[in-house]
Chain A
Amino acid sequence: MIDLIAKPAVSGLPVSHGGCTLSAFDAGPVTSIAPYPGRDLSAVLPFPAPGTVSDYQSGRLIWAGRDMAFLTGVAAPDLSGLAAVTDQSDGWVWALLEGASVEAVLARLCPLDLRLRSFAVGSSARSMLQHLPILLVRTGPESFQIASFRSMAGTLVHELEIAIKGVAARASL
C-alpha cells in the first residue's frame, strides 16, 4: 500500500496582525450526519439543536444546517437506517481565529451579530464570509473556528487576512 502524504489545504498560516491570529488546525475526521425524516437519534448520540454544539465521546457534534450536524474528532457510530452519514474530512478546511479583535474582524465579513451576548461560547452557525459559505463555531470569548469548502481555502485566508490587517491598521492610528 502506498503511503500517501496529506497536504494542508492552505499555506502561509499562521498570520498575525494587531493581536489577532489566524491559524490552520486539523479537525480530525469530519462526518456529516443527516437524520432521515422522522428518525430520532437520541439513543445513539446527542444531535445538536440548531445553532448549538454538543459533545460526543472525545469529539464534537456541530450543528451544520437544517437537519444536519458535523461530527468532528471521532469516527461516526453505526447509524444505518437512522441517518445519512457521509465522510467530509477532505472536503472542508478549518481555521482558528483568535485575539482581542476577533469580533471586529468578523463584523467586516459576516452578516451575523457575533457579539458575545447574542452569539455565546458554544454557538454554531452557517453563514457567509463575504460571498463564501462558512460554518462558524465560537470556542471562546475571543476565539472562533471557521470551516469552509476546501476548494475555497485560499479565498478564506485572503478575506480574513485583509480584515485582520484592516482592523489592526485602524487600531494603530
Chain B
Amino acid sequence: MRIPCPCCGDRDRREYTYYGAADFLDRPAEDAGLEAWDNYLHLRDNPAGVTRDLWYHDPCQSWVEVERNTVTHEVLSTRFVSAKAGASA
C-alpha cells in the first residue's frame, strides 16, 4: 500500500503511523453535551467503502488526512491536517 504524502510524494505504508478516523479532527465544543462527547470519543463508523483517516508521515513529520476506499484499497486523496481551516496540527 502506498500513500501519497502532499510533501514527499508516493511513499510506502511502512513510513506512516496510523492514528484513527478523521472524526478526531471534529472536536465538539466544550459545552456540547454528553452525547456529542461520547460520540466523539467512542463511536466510529466502520464503512465498507470510502473512509477518512489520519496517518502520520514519520519522515517529514506531518499529519496527513487520507481518503481511501477500504474495499478497493484505492487512495482517493490526501492533504495535510494543518491545511484544514481552523485546525491546529
Contact = CB atoms under 8 A, between A and B. Distances in A.
20 contacts: A50-B8, A50-B60, A51-B8, A51-B9, A65-B60, A66-B60, A66-B62, A68-B61, A111-B11, A111-B14, A111-B15, A112-B12, A125-B8, A126-B8, A126-B59, A126-B60, A127-B59, A128-B58, A128-B59, A133-B58
A interface secondary structure, majority: strand
B41 interface: no
A68 B9 CA distance: 17
Interface in B12-44: 12, 14-15
Nearest to B59: A126
A116 B24 CA distance: 40
A128 B14 contact: yes
Interface of B: 7-9, 11-12, 14-15, 58-62
Interface of A: 50-51, 65-66, 68, 111-112, 125-128, 133
